[in-house]
Amino acid sequence: MSEPTTLIALLHGPDQPGLVAKTAGWIFARGGNILHADQHRDIEEGVFFQRIEWEPSNASSVEGESAAFREFAGVLGMDSRVAVSTRKQRVVLFVSKADHCFHDLILRWRANEFPCDLVGILGNHPDLESASKAYGIGFHHVEVRPERKGEAEGRQLEILRQLNVDLVVLARYMQVLSADFLKALGRPVINIHHSFLPAFAGGKPYHQAHRRGVKLIGATAHYATPDLDEGPIIQQDVARVTHRHSVEDLVRKGRDLEKMVLAQAVRWHLENRVLVYGNKTVVFD
């Protein structure tokens, strides 16, 4: 049996009495069936957050139902977005030379862990071209030189528009995306940083951590913004280390963390579980 078509709404706005009842009542009045619902209240900010998934009475009219719910949420003073469960997002990976996140994401995708279409790989080095082709995924090599970065990003944007991309994942892509690029793209970008941000931002965080003698190392998946390594955090995890671990040990342990953290962040995003507000996220389980 095929999965039913459902609508998934993420909404947030000023907290007020009766919001849960109002959203549930609206869906009930239109003949819908709620499958999952979760909410959160930020007491300090006075903001209400909700994720609600329901099966509409008529699966052939999901676009109209989506528009109607957004209008209803607006009347309540809530910002909202609505996704259709059967629409797969189109994803592109950006890579450099490191291949651990690259292979991990592709294998998870091939195992149907991600509800998306992986439509291309963009690399600023050609190292992963043959592996991409072996997986049957198109590879686009765009060299990025400091003196011609604007030209390279223009070419990347052209490719992404041709591929009609919904999400870009930086799978250890060792380049900083410019503010102009992110604005022109207009799509979310998820990055994996090999550190437990905000500690050890920038380059070679494991070397920084080793010099500092930390007892925990971590990895952080976050949305990319013009402010380097300061975008809204989606997922983090840590591993214990001791004085006996070398830099190479930290790097090895870190790679395992990076794969798990990035995969979880991508999965939550694709399942429409992440709501961004300000520079924070609410992640619904």
Q: Which domains does the chain have, with CATH numbers?
A: 7-84 (3.30.70.260), 89-283 (3.40.50.170)
Whether the predicted pLDDT of 257 surpasses 60? yes
Report the C-alpha gap between 254 and 114 in whole angstroms.
23
Residue 227: its pLDDT value, please? Answer: 87
pLDDT, tens digit, 9 for 90 and up, residues 107-158: 999 999 999 999 999 999 999 999 999 999 999 999 999 999 999 999 999 9
User: Which of 9, 4, 42 shows the shortest CA–CA distance to 24?
Assistant: 9
Residue 12: its pLDDT value, please? Answer: 97
Count of residues making up the chain: 285
Q: For the whole model, what pTM was predicted?
A: 0.92
Report the mean per-residue pLDDT for the chain.
93
Query: Per-residue confidence at 202, pLDDT binned at 50, 70, 90?
Result: low
Of 34-48, 98-112, 246-260, give the lowest mean pLDDT range. 246-260
Of 22-36, 142-156, 157-171, 230-244, give the lowest mean pLDDT range. 230-244
Whether the predicted pLDDT of 270 surpasses 60? yes
Active site residue 180: no
Whether the predicted pLDDT of 1 surpasses 60? no
Coil vs helix vs strand at 59: helix
User: Which of 217, 257, 256, 266 shows the shortest CA–CA distance to 240?
Assistant: 217
**Catalytic member of 79, 229, 237, 285:** 229
pLDDT, tens digit, 9 for 90 and up, residues 207-223: 777 777 878 888 999 99
For 3, 41, 69, 267, 284, the CA distances from 275, given in Å and listed in that order, are 24, 13, 17, 14, 8
